A and B are shown apart, each in its own frame.
Chain A
Amino acid sequence: MPKDHGIGASSKRREDIRFLTGNGRYTDDINLHGQAHVAFVRSQVAHGRLKSVDTSAAAGMPGVLRVFTARDFEGVGGLPCGWQVTDRHGEVMKEPKHPVLADGKVRHVGDPIAAVVAETYEQARDAAEAVGVEIEELPAVIDMKAAVADGSVLVHEDIGTNLCYDWGFVEENKAKVDAAFDAAHHVTTLELVNNRLVPNAMEPRVAVGDFSFATGEHTLYTTSQNPHVIRLLMGAFVLGIPEHKLRVVAPDVGGGFGSKIFHYAEEAFVTFAAKALRRPVKWTCQRSESFMSDAHGRDHVTKIELALDAEGHFQAIRTETYANMGAYLSTFAPSVPTWLHGTLMAGNYRTPLIYVNVKAVFTNTVPVDAYRGAGRPEATFQLERVIDKAAREMGMDPIELRRKNFITEFPYETPVAVVYDTGDYHATMDKLVEIADLKGFEARRAESAKKGLLRGLGVNCYIEACGIAPSQLVGQLGARAGLYESATVRVNATGGVVVMTGSHSHGQGHETSFAQVISEMIGIPEDQVEIVHGDTANTPMGMGTYGSRSIAVGGSAMVKAAGKVIDKAKKIAAHLLEASEGDIELKDGKFSVAGTDKSVEWGAVTLAAYVPHNYPLDQVEPGLEETAFYDPSNFTYPAGAYACEVEVDPETGKVTICSFAATDDFGNIINPMIVDGQVHGGIAQGIGQALLENATYDEDGQLLSGSYMDYAMPRADDVPFYKVDHSCQTPCTHNPLGVKGCGEAGAIGTPPAVVNAVVDALQRAGHAHVTHLDMPLSPARVWAAINAK
């Protein structure tokens, strides 16, 4: 019998009521009295010297309040980078300044040059066209390998190179890895591209800046996954506003997928301009503008080699990756191809020797940063593709080759610096074989063949490091911030509970799932628990939501704070029951004395805490409110196995996903319905990457797929119903809920399953020359591969 409330119940989401009735409050729904609107003048060329910016005509246009340029931001900091990578030679990465408005040069199409603030948005747009911009165009730096070749034009002349860093991991292992390759029975090599993606949360970014001359307080309303991080970065590093004079509010946020982690220029601009103009200033991003101003994701070019012995045991892995940083370092960009990618190269397998080399490259493109999965999809894709290729080359079954190399004993320390605490990769694979009905594949393939379609099966595994992150470890790895999480649990006098969390929900359903945890711990109905998030003014300093961290880190902070509350409440209950504190038990919202029928209701204890007439004032203070900060001791390691079946139309190259199955081990589950939904969404994004999505620049640095007219988003008819299962559970050993996190799994595990399936379909049809296809597997690309001679 499934539970109907608390941990493990598929409680319906309370937030849905407001979203379903049009009562959500997103940033663009906020309109402040007297607000003005900003339109940015953005570079239309990828690379050039700014010779002059003439604002005089624009300044005189109807409704215009002021036109801002880089000159207004002299003395203001650049947008900071939150991670510093040290390269294989012991040198720190190159870190050029990222000004709020372009200063001296423009470095990508969309780079903001000037900002026009006017009474209405259309007036601002009208005047933005009147800003005279003179640019001496320079050749665009687009191709990464050309960018780091001698004599390349430089994106940033002041750093003298387009190479941000050349990272080796683990550098000390390099010679041993090379030796293993020299001695290997078989080496499989694969060169591939992990295609550049535009995150495309359905809500475009919005920022509203406000300033009170009465209090000297700034307020920024913004579409953010982590308002405290924005407050710290923007306040301390850009505008020089102390935290106590800066409030950042991220109300309902319409999806993030990583793209709303980062601190963006527009946020700093509206905050700055609101004070300068003594009026609230609002920026609403147009979708076509978001394509050239939101951080993009992925964009790796990789060569991976896998060394095997004669039986197929993995001996060593060696990779070389070029990772696009874009024109400037976005907030967490340097960490994505390094610590979120190199550390996962062991996958689910025992490979004794691994060496990862990553060259991060500046180009005249939009900055690239974390997008759902962030580094882990790139690691998984190359690993699971090269394993498939190796199986084919060695005449082995791809599932059996994987099983042969599975890690089976835990904890397991990989050669790439992480320790997997728990897992059972055979169990998730067994479950996958069952729910995907792999036994029936040949029959289904025969049915497809009758229709003239080529059916293929792709299977792969994945592992990810989530629950980001142990602060001391990531500090050693270059993080400039701690990555704990916080929660305040406030119990009201009549027994209701309010949890103020540093996590941020932008689709994940925290208001429901976090309440389920509190309900379970105390034994009160879920509707007695309220979850507050998204406002620095009423939540403790927290790091926000990304990296599948909310329940694992934020949930743990909440459990810790609730534990303190319960401990104190037990003291009060002991006093009321005239019993020893050690004998007090809390169950179903009632404190009782063990072995007796004496009890007191939760509400009576909470009332006593605020009306302390009969109260142990000599032992505890009145009130019932506790705050906790939780810093994880390790990452969590969700893992699983995915299977995809496709049909390829050989005449058109069109790929249809016939079925998709996912088995995930997320450890313990709070709300299975929400977990299913997270996996579904990740799978669709993975299918999008594999079949549809591609941010493509031409050699001049123009984004060819700059709107939904050319950037193909997955639609309802591009995907099937998915079969998902998370019954294989090896709970996390080091957090109180035993949870691992589920937000990114689908986006990580899916792309290789799709590509493996398409390659399988073509191989089975006799197209032996097709050993790999780069994503997205568009009809034209698949057709060209089939017909390549």
Chain B
Amino acid sequence: MTKVAMSVNGRAVSGEVEGRTLLVQFLREGLGLTGTHVGCDTAQCGACVVHVDGKALKACNVFALDFEGAEVTTIEGMAAPDGTLSPIQQAFQDHHGLQCGFCTPGMVMSAAALLAENPKPTEAEVREYLEGNLCRCTGYHNIVKAILAASGQEMAVAAE
């Protein structure tokens, strides 16, 4: 076991991990941050997406020991301390962008990464950016709509 220390949602954390411990295991099992989910073992579903040093990563496809000293943000770090949802989270609720909720943390984290890179994406850019996030419930319609709305482009969603 090796010690690893990083910042998660602005809090300094550390723990003992094996070489093979994935970042998602450290978050879920080591820190009890169970909002980050595991939906596949081939790095395709994106339920585990978190931000590391500002970039979206699949936490199930990286090792915890590679992130000594990193700044990690998970879904638990997206709302304000008083519980107020971030604009993206609020848009997901307003536009029914989630059903079972399992893919949702990864969707929100990917959406946040997209809007950080590209504040006014087109519909096609949103859909393309979600290539690594699978949802089985929503048919993506309301997810795309929510992300466009969160970008301030409510009118971009003409189609219903």
Interface residues of A (CB under 8 A from B): 12-13, 15-26, 28-29, 31, 122, 200-204, 252-255, 257, 286-288, 506-509, 673-674, 676-677, 680-685, 707-709, 713-717, 719-724, 746
How far apart are the CA atoms of A26 and B75 in the complex, in Å? 15
Q: Choose among B78, B128, B134, B145 the residue with the greatest number of A CB atoms under 10 Å from its CB.
A: B134
Q: Choose among B20, B37, B42, B124 the residue with the greatest number of A CB atoms under 10 Å from its CB.
A: B37
Which residues on the B side are within 8 Å of A509 (C-beta)? 99
Which residues on the B side are within 8 Å of A19 (C-beta)? 98, 100-101, 104
Instruction: Render B132-160 as a binary contact track against A, CB cut-off 8 A, 1 for contact.
Output: 01111111111111000000000001011
> 14 pairs across A/B with beta carbons < 8 Å?
A17-B85, A18-B101, A20-B78, A20-B92, A21-B35, A26-B34, A201-B102, A254-B102, A255-B102, A257-B136, A677-B99, A684-B141, A715-B127, A717-B127
Instruction: Render B86-97 as a binary contact track against A, CB cut-off 8 A, 1 for contact.
Output: 000100111010
Q: A13 touches which one: B34, B36, B39, B93 (CB < 8 A)?
A: B93
Instruction: Render B4-20 as a binary contact track against A, CB cut-off 8 A, 1 for contact.
Output: 00000000000000001
Contact across chains for B35 and A22 when beta carbons are under 8 A apart: yes
B33 beta carbon closer than 8 Å to chain A: yes
How far apart are the CA atoms of A682 and B137 in the complex, in Å? 8
B103 beta carbon closer than 8 Å to chain A: yes
Binding site secondary structure of chain B = loop
Contact across chains for B74 and A22 when beta carbons are under 8 A apart: yes
Contact across chains for A288 and B42 when beta carbons are under 8 A apart: yes
- A681-B96 CB under 8 A given contacts A26-B37, A202-B47, A716-B127: no
Contact across chains for B96 and A674 when beta carbons are under 8 A apart: yes
- A16-B92 CB under 8 A given contacts A21-B78, A202-B103: yes
Q: B94 touches which one: A12, A26, A254, A674 (CB < 8 A)?
A: A12
- A716-B130 CB under 8 A given contacts A16-B92, A20-B104, A723-B159: yes
Which residues on the A side are within 8 Å of B117 (C-beta)? none
Which residues on the A side are within 8 Å of B45 (C-beta)? 202, 287, 708
Contact across chains for B39 and A202 when beta carbons are under 8 A apart: yes
Q: What's the least CB distance linking B72 to chain A, in Å?
A: 13
Contact across chains for A713 and B134 when beta carbons are under 8 A apart: yes
B116 beta carbon closer than 8 Å to chain A: no
- A677-B75 CB under 8 A given contacts A287-B40, A707-B42, A715-B131: no
How far apart are the CA atoms of A707 and B133 in the complex, in Å? 15
- A24-B138 CB under 8 A given contacts A203-B37, A717-B131: no
Which residues on the B side are within 8 Å of A714 (C-beta)? 139-140
- A22-B137 CB under 8 A given contacts A202-B103, A506-B100: no
How far apart are the CA atoms of A31 and B42 in the complex, in Å? 24
Contact across chains for A681 and B34 when beta carbons are under 8 A apart: no
Q: B128 touches which one: A12, A680, A717 (CB < 8 A)?
A: A717
Which residues on the B side are within 8 Å of A15 (C-beta)? 101
Which residues on the A side are within 8 Å of B40 (C-beta)? 287, 707-708
Q: What's the least CB distance linking B135 to chain A, in Å?
A: 7
Which residues on the A side are within 8 Å of B137 (C-beta)? 202, 255, 507, 677, 681
Which residues on the B side are within 8 Å of A720 (C-beta)? 159
Residue of B nearest to A673 (CB): B96
How far apart are the CA atoms of A405 and B94 in the complex, in Å? 42
Residue of A nearest to B143 (CB): A716
Q: Choose among B34, B124, B133, B159 the residue with the greatest number of A CB atoms under 10 Å from its CB.
A: B34
Residue of A nearest to B125 (CB): A717
How far apart are the CA atoms of A26 and B38 in the complex, in Å? 11
Residue of A nearest to B44 (CB): A708
B53 beta carbon closer than 8 Å to chain A: no
Residue of A nearest to B36 (CB): A22
Q: B160 touches which one: A288, A677, A716, A723 (CB < 8 A)?
A: A723
Which residues on the A side are within 8 Å of B145 (C-beta)? 721
B123 beta carbon closer than 8 Å to chain A: yes
Which residues on the B side are within 8 Å of A12 (C-beta)? 93-94, 96
Q: B140 touches which one: A202, A254, A708, A719 (CB < 8 A)?
A: A719
Contact across chains for B94 and A122 when beta carbons are under 8 A apart: no
Which residues on the B side are within 8 Å of A713 (C-beta)? 44, 134, 136
Known: A20-B78, A707-B41. 9 other contacts (CB 8 A): A15-B101, A16-B92, A17-B85, A20-B89, A20-B93, A28-B37, A681-B139, A683-B139, A719-B139
Which residues on the B side are within 8 Å of A708 (C-beta)? 40, 42, 44-45, 134
Contact across chains for B36 and A20 when beta carbons are under 8 A apart: no
Which residues on the A side are within 8 Å of B66 (C-beta)? none
Contact across chains for B34 and A22 when beta carbons are under 8 A apart: yes
Which residues on the B side are within 8 Å of A28 (C-beta)? 34, 37-38
Which residues on the A side are within 8 Å of B47 (C-beta)? 202
Residue of B nearest to A687 (CB): B139
Which residues on the A side are within 8 Å of B157 (C-beta)? 721
Contact across chains for B139 and A22 when beta carbons are under 8 A apart: no
Contact across chains for B126 and A716 when beta carbons are under 8 A apart: yes
Contact across chains for B100 and A202 when beta carbons are under 8 A apart: yes
Contact across chains for A676 and B100 when beta carbons are under 8 A apart: no
Contact across chains for B99 and A681 when beta carbons are under 8 A apart: yes
Contact across chains for B141 and A21 when beta carbons are under 8 A apart: no
* 10 nearest A-B residue pairs (beta carbon): A22-B35, A19-B101, A254-B102, A684-B139, A507-B100, A721-B159, A507-B99, A680-B139, A22-B75, A29-B34
Contact across chains for A287 and B41 when beta carbons are under 8 A apart: yes
B68 beta carbon closer than 8 Å to chain A: no
Instruction: Render B71-87 as a binary contact track against A, CB cut-off 8 A, 1 for contact.
Output: 00011101100010100
How far apart are the CA atoms of A17 and B89 in the complex, in Å? 9
Q: What's the least CB distance linking B155 to chain A, in Å?
A: 14
Q: What's the least CB distance linking B23 to chain A, in Å?
A: 15
